[in-house]
Structure 1
């Protein structure tokens, strides 16, 4: 065997693996989007009163 990947079964296996990787990537992106907190819903950090100047 010369190590080339001309076998149709190997090619099909690579296509399946690529599709599985893409599906996993999409699941991760979908989960990250679901977990994301929109900027409108976040509050601006305000330092404690004792650290504010002039108060």
Structure 2
């Protein structure tokens, strides 16, 4: 019975390592695709058609 529990523990360890590796890949991809805040907060001039509506 102890052999069975150690194999389950080993399987859980492998799954935990795979989850951690997947998490690291997702974080690395997100960081690579991240847009710096300076680029997202730049002021964009009003469009001419928006000025006419006022």
Fold shared per TM-score above 0.5: yes
Aligned to 2:20: 22
Q: What's the C-alpha RMSD, in Å, of the aligned pairs?
A: 2.4
Aligned to 1:49: 48
Q: CA deviation at 1:7?
A: 1.5
Q: CA deviation at 1:46?
A: 4.1
Q: What CA distance in whole angstroms lies between the structure 2 residues aligned with 1:44 and 1:16?
A: 49
TM-score of the aligned structures, taking structure 1 as reference length: 0.68
Higher helix residue share: 2
**Unaligned residue ranges in structure 2 (runs of 5+):** none
Q: What CA distance in whole angstroms lies between the structure 1 residues aligned with 2:23 and 2:13?
A: 15
Query: Higher RCO, 1 or 2 (CA under 8 Å, sep at least 6)?
Result: 1
